Amino acid sequence: MTSEMKNAWAAELEGCLRDNILPYWLEWMADAEGGFYGRRDGNDVLHPEADRGAVLNARILWTFAAAWRQTGDDRYLEAARKAYRYFEAHFIDQREGGVYWSVKSDGTPADDRKQFYAIAFAVYAYAEFYRATGEVAVLDRAMEMFDCIERHSRDRRLGGYIEATTRSWEQIADMRLSDKDANACKTMNTHLHVLEGYTGLLKANRTPALEEAVGSLLDIFFDRIEDHESHHLGLFFDADWRRQDREQSFGHDIEASWLLLEAAEALGDPERLEKAMIHTRLIAEAGLEGRCHDGSMVYERHASGSYDNEKHWWVQAECAVGQAWLADRHGMPGQLDKSLQTWRYIDSRLVDHTQGEWHWSVMPDGSVNRKDDKAGFWKCPYHNSRMCMELLRILRR
């Protein structure tokens, strides 16, 4: 790829970030009374009464803190502070510790269970906000969240992390993140985002406990979660690490391929980094089995062998980043051209150039999905903003 092509692509990504994604959240999702609204549906109708999820609000905080660190635009730091103040006031459980899963539109708890996926995103967000501000109270809260996960979720006997507890850290029957998930004790998804949060915190505040936890998580991924025949990642496991599914999630594979390598690089352990270089390439190549000729990526392959051909926004974003990491870290320059092709698909099919932000997905028949949210409990500015920022770093390096 020529320098001219890289510069032109970088300009497009900069425009998507600063003129499409972030203004949508600043102008259409910010609540004048505090925080951010919980939902705009697929037709861009605001639902001000919708519950507000901890994952969404942590991702908003991470996005604007990261955007300020990359661009220096003070509007983004102001938005990050707005998100931080609301999260502190309404999502932090002052009595039991940790964070509530969701709150009502008035800020009172809606679902007070402790989902460690959500607490991991709080770690991720607070670590990034600390890197933006240097405020010690922010770092202290991030470390408090890290301690919550280590104390209440980590399985010291069999390894890894359990999914959820009650508000007061007791066993809970239903551990699922959503109705689409299996009710499993341990999942790839939660482990990936615990690792992601810990990697961000390690960059902000290297401690022996964090180094040990990141190293342990890398070992779990390569020894337990990765299928050593197909190199796809298993999704659901029982407490003893017996796999409970046979699906292949292409988006999670390609996302994990670069997040795992990022963690190994941050850790700096030569043996684990060498291992990560081998395994993450294999995991990425397994994920790319879901890539189509037009640069898009399908959602998953079912246990039956049939495919879910919906093109979700987050899967396309992670496909673009994963391919760029293959080019940048694994010496596969052709993958950068493939990443550009994925971006072309995103820009032409998913980006809403009229109202801003991206649509949830493109359906198998080629139509835009408007039945799912434009912004909501799971639809956030994190995957797509991070894609823009990560690709910009690679293109400009």
For residue 351, the tally of other CB atoms under 10 A from its CB is 18
pLDDT digits (tens, 9 = 90+) for 240-289: 999 999 999 999 999 999 999 999 999 999 999 999 999 999 999 999 99
* pLDDT grade for 180, boundaries at 50, 70 and 90: confident
Which pLDDT does position 397 carry in this prediction? 85
pLDDT digits (tens, 9 = 90+) for 288-335: 999 999 999 999 999 999 999 999 999 999 999 999 999 999 999 999
Q: Which two tokens stand for residue 167?
A: 């508000």
Which pLDDT does position 82 carry in this prediction? 98
Q: Which domains does the chain have, with CATH numbers?
A: 3-396 (1.50.10.10)
Which pLDDT does position 376 carry in this prediction? 98
Residue 167 has pLDDT above 90, yes or no: yes
Burial class (CB in 10 A: 0-12, 13-18, 19+), 12: middle
Share of the chain above pLDDT 70, in %: 100
Give the pLDDT mean for 179-203.
96
Beta strands in 193-321 (DSSP E): 236-237, 248-249, 300-301, 307-308, 311-312
Which pLDDT does position 20 carry in this prediction? 98
Gap between the Cα atoms of 65 and 48, Å rounded: 24
Give the angle 216-219-221 at the CA atoms, nearest 5°.
115
Query: What pTM was estimated for this model as a whole?
Result: 0.97
